[in-house]
């Protein structure tokens, strides 16, 4: 097969204003945009000095005193938000009122509740604005190639899938004030990419326990979700954010792997985060009789963020729907909501209930 692990850059001329100056913006968004040639014309954050430092690093010409001032900047046509989810909806609504802003890239989770996510979807549609959500794992190179294999029928009918994470995330300080942790802020990558690969599941069962390393109060630390589809496909998404003790001298074996088994073949691989290496994929089928391993040099972080911005640039330029629509993302938020209901009620939850 002629695989395409990274998307083509079709459009890159629409000016971007960035809100946020933390790790995800400074090390992922802006690093990717610089490589791709996307024009970033302004930046703002909660702390102006931090935004100034990032602006100097990337040659961004304008630093606004506040995010609200950036949103009012008539030079900004695409708003790129990397901000805490409790503060994000107000910024989105402010942008929807500005005639010069044509598209908005929001972070996930889009909102802290399903009701808020649905409201933002409807308000963006009413305003005639493109609202897209940064589900960047869909642009991880291994996930794109896996999707291409599935769409071509190379693996046959999917039977079983698994994402197995044993890695320690950096929990941002703002998460300490929320009543939701892993499922909403880490599992969201995996649950969304399972929807990307296979469509919407019909049910989810989620179980969890607290993580011994996470010192602030939380209910969902280590999290395991089992999903089923009407086709009979079953998938397991495991987020082991404990990953064992990490004392001095302890060998670090953090990893994320995946496996998809079909009626005609098997695909398996690894996600480059947290190793800092490219993701991998190998597949074998009845027809080939051997393992085939495509390769690439790009990474999930930061290179996947090129595709996320490009799909919004192209949508704004052409009027086509973006690849990452807010309407589709609301379905991911609904799946997370179903997972939390499964935790609370100790049962399998049908997505039709949500």
Each domain of the chain, given as residue ranges in start order, spans 16-135+314-320, 141-299+333-353
User: Which residues, 6 or more positions from 187, have their beta carbon under 8 angstroms from its beta carbon?
Assistant: 223, 225, 237, 239, 336, 339
* CATH for the stretch 16-135+314-320: 3.40.50.720
Give the pLDDT score at 247.
Answer: 80
Element (H, E) at 128: none
pLDDT tens, the chain, 354 aa long = 899 999 999 999 999 999 999 999 999 999 999 999 999 999 999 999 999 999 999 999 999 999 999 999 999 999 999 999 999 999 999 999 999 999 999 999 999 999 999 999 999 999 999 999 999 999 999 999 999 999 999 999 999 999 999 999 999 999 999 999 999 999 999 999 999 999 999 999 999 999 999 999 999 999 999 999 999 999 999 999 999 988 888 888 999 999 999 999 999 999 998 788 999 999 999 998 899 999 999 999 999 999 999 999 999 999 999 999 999 999 999 999 999 999 999 999 999 999
339 close to 197: Cβ distance less than 8 angstroms? no
Give the pLDDT score at 273.
Answer: 87
Domain 16-135+314-320 identical in fold to domain 141-299+333-353: no
Q: pTM for the whole thing?
A: 0.97
Q: What is the DSSP string of 175-202?
A: GGGSS--HHHHTHHHHHHHHHHHH---S
Vertex 70 angle, CA 65 and 72, to 5°:
120
Per-residue tokens: 301: 């972080």
* CATH for the stretch 141-299+333-353: 3.30.360.10
> Which residues in 4-72 belong to E strands, given as ranges?
16-19, 40-44, 62-63
């Amino acid at each position: 097969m002629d695989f395409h692990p990274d998307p083509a850059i079709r459009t890159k001329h629409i000016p971007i204003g960035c809100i946020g100056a933390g790790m995800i913006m400074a090390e992922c968004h802006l690093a990717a945009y610089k490589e791709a040639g996307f024009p970033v014309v302004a930046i703002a954050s909660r702390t102006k000095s931090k935004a100034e430092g990032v602006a100097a690093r990337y040659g961004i010409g304008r630093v606004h005193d506040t995010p609200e001032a950036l949103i009012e900047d008539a030079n900004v046509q695409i708003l790129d938000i990397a901000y805490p989810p409790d503060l994000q909806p107000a910024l989105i609504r402010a942008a929807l009122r500005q005639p010069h802003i044509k598209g908005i890239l929001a972070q996930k989770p889009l909102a802290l509740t399903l009701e808020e996510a649905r409201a933002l979807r409807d308000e963006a549609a009413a305003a005639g604005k493109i609202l897209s959500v940064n589900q960047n794992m869909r642009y991880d190179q291994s996930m794109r190639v896996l999707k291409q294999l599935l769409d071509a029928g190379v693996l046959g009918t999917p039977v079983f899938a698994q994402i197995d994470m044993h890695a320690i995330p950096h929990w941002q300080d703002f998460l300490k004030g929320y009543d939701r942790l892993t499922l909403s802020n880490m599992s969201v990558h995996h649950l969304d990419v399972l929807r990307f690969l296979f469509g919407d599941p019909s049910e989810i069962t989620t179980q969890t326990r607290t993580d011994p390393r996470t010192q602030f109060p939380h209910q969902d630390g280590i999290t395991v979700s089992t999903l089923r589809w009407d086709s009979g496909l079953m998938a397991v998404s495991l987020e082991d954010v404990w990953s064992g003790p990490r004392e001095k001298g302890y060998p670090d074996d953090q990893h994320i792997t995946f496996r998809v088994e079909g009626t005609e073949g098997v695909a398996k691989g690894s996600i480059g985060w947290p190793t800092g290496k490219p993701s991998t994929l190998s597949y074998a089928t009845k027809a080939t009789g051997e393992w085939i391993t495509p390769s690439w040099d790009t990474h999930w972080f930061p290179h996947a963020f090129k595709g996320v911005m490009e799909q919004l640039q192209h949508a704004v330029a052409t009027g086509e729907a973006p690849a990452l629509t807010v309407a589709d993302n609301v379905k991911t938020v609904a799946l997370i909501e179903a997972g939390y209901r499964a935790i609370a009620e100790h049962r399998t939850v049908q997505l039709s209930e949500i």
